[in-house]
A and B are shown apart, each in its own frame.
Chain A
Amino acid sequence: MRLTLTGNYCVAYAVKLARVRVVSAYPITPQTTIVEKISEMVDEGEADIKMIRVESEHSALSAVYGAASAGVRSFTATSSHGLLYMHEMVWWVAQARIPLVMAVVTRTIGPPWNIWTDHHDIMGQRDTGWLIAMAENNQEVLDETIKLFKITEDPDVFLPGMIGLDAFVLSHTVEPVEVPDQDVVDSFLPERRQPYVIRAGDPLIMGNIPSDLVRNARMRWDVHLGLRNAETVIERVDQEWGKLTGRYHGGLTECYRCEDSKYIMMGIGSWVGDMRIAVDSLRDEGYPVGLLKIRYVRPFPVRRVYETVKGSKGVVVFDRSISAGSAGPLFLDVASHVQAMRLGIPVKNVVAGLAGVDVGYRDFELIVRRFVEEVEREGWVREFLEFYSGR
């Protein structure tokens, strides 16, 4: 069924189609319309979901964690300060190996108060053990939310996952979206699977103090391994989804005109759409540029990045957040892996679009043109980190 939906409504439809049984959330702009829509679906009898309308985001994630631990598919959604308020529980859920799914409508962190998109909120969660997907458009929001239930509940993964969608650009903008039928999603999603279920009468204890710290350390390392396993699972599940719906999104990454390119742009989220336009016009101008869209920040697509950038002459990574005092977080991942793989390629970081500042294809064209020309001239980049605040 083809519908015209905002990104937030796509999340709500995905949650309904995935037959989620418990949803808990707390209002925050621009996440609210997700939960409003789910509430409406529940009240209209369209979805069999128990809603827990909590008093804070910390409690929202706590409640879905409790529900998921007790054996049911669960979902929450938040944004910005809400995600920061949850942060303690974000860690807790992953270390307890409880699969669940959360939508994060990426929004600037205050002060000052600012509701527009940037990625500091979601990028601040990348050490927690969650899978982190970023969507470019509303179709991807819907598809990836459904897929995340399957990926997170895979026994090789058993970790929670978040789907990031940019505030307003996706959350409140309508696009035509293909919504799959319930029987399609039912055939795709198996029954809920999880590593353990808390049940009355079964004296299973989650989380008491370890007698053996090495065992505890192994649990931490296992979270890392679970995320590495997720690389394979994400690819497999995306291919299954592709067969079923005709929409394969590329697994962990998507290449746009990478073949025969000499320079690679990288980015996450909705502005990848503008990057595509920039690639086309730069190609027309004779610049041999390709685009690697990073769909999963965690697990970081190490192999895909390697395969894409090896043999290229330079990489420019666009970050919509900065690890203040260092550089953009996506760049740090890319640059460290490029160095570890001895690729010897210049990697430049452009930090832009902070606080919701609009960055369009003209900006990407300008930045990439300058980058290519500098590398052609100098063989390297003089300043690896650039703050771009507009033309």
Chain B
Amino acid sequence: MPLTIRELPREKYVLPGHAACPGCPEAMGLRYVGMALGRRAILVIPAGCTSIIQGLSPGSGLAFPIINVAFASSDAVAAGASAAKEVLGEDAIVVVWAGDGATSDIGFATLSGAAERGDNIIHICVDNEAYMNTGIQRSSQTPRGAWTTTTWRGKAEPKKNMPLIMLSHGVPYVATASVAYPLDFIEKLRKAATIRGFKYIHLHAPCPVGWRFDPSETVEIARLAIETGMWVLFEAERGRVAISPPSRPYVDKSRRKPIVEYLKRQGRFRNITEELVKELEREVDEYWSILIKLSSQ
């Protein structure tokens, strides 16, 4: 039975007093984490936007227990916390809530180590595709062609494919998610919480400030990423890939919207060339064909 909004708990974990920007996808994502895991969650948060979003101590706008940690350390801290809870026999789901930089750049070795060891944690990469907290610098998750404050003419390199990299670690659960599809994300989180070992969820999180769109359009942009096929929702239990329902129609390429519909809504792609758009299209097709191949095995 698919999850419906009526079944979601009413307790709030993102409270008035949080310091997220208008239209912030991370505040949305944190809300869904609260709905999915509730009082069982302990969050480990490295440097990033959520360092700010929490609000100022001694108060906070988040109702989770949180250990704020140094940029490259989060999966190791989480591994230790998870081990301690096991030793103490306390119920807890230890979740790393890390941005794309903390996941795929500075924290990558730590993440890979925890995944290889099978530490019993959930790593959520909340991916806004650049270092937004420090002022929109490029990360390895910034897509080709995107303007950032360190790539003024657009990033020359493609986005590093983290979900496939994590799949290659052979961990028991890898999934992608989007802030435009909260029920899909919540279901994946709940499933991850039932699996022992290392779980990776990559949450696509369009940032109005860094991507240059109106704060009222976050969900719309996130949905366009799915509808154009630029972001694909799937999950992989023990390596078996299944395209998730919101992305399933787009297995058929003819049903995908042209990617320019996604790109033209974002100021960061303002100066993108037709050539680069073609290159991005080619990359999208290639990614889909890999996923389709993996899901039919």
- List residues of chain A with CB under 8 Å of any chain B CB: 21-22, 24, 50, 52-56, 58-60, 62-72, 74, 88-89, 92, 198-211, 215
Contacts and interface: CB of A to CB of B under 8 A. Distances in A.
A352 B40 CA distance: 55
Contact of B76 (A62, A200, A204, A206): A62
Contacts of A74: 80, 84
- Chain A interface mostly: mixed
B90 interface: yes
B50 to A, nearest CB: 9
Interface residues of B, number: 51
Contacts of A89: 70, 73
B40 A52 contact: no
A59 B83 contact: no
Interface string B49-91: 0011011111110111111111011111111111111111011
B109 interface: yes
Contacts of B68: 205-208
Interface of B: 39-42, 44, 51-52, 54-60, 62-70, 72-88, 90-93, 109-110, 112-113, 116-117, 119
B94 to A, nearest CB: 8
A68 B67 CA distance: 12
B67 A54 contact: no
A203 B63 contact: yes
Contacts of A71: 84, 88, 90
Most central of A52, A63, A198, A201 by chain B CB within 10 Å? A63
> When A and B form their complex, which 4 residue pairs have the shortest distance between CB atoms, in order from nearest?
A66-B80, A55-B113, A207-B68, A70-B84
Contact of B79 (A58, A66, A92, A200): A66
Contacts of A200: 39-42, 65, 85, 90-93
Given A92-B70, A207-B68, A65 B109 contact: no
Given A200-B42, A208-B55, A64 B80 contact: yes
B70 A209 contact: no
B73 A52 contact: no
A52 B84 contact: no
A72 B113 contact: no
A375 B68 CA distance: 54
A72 B84 CA distance: 6
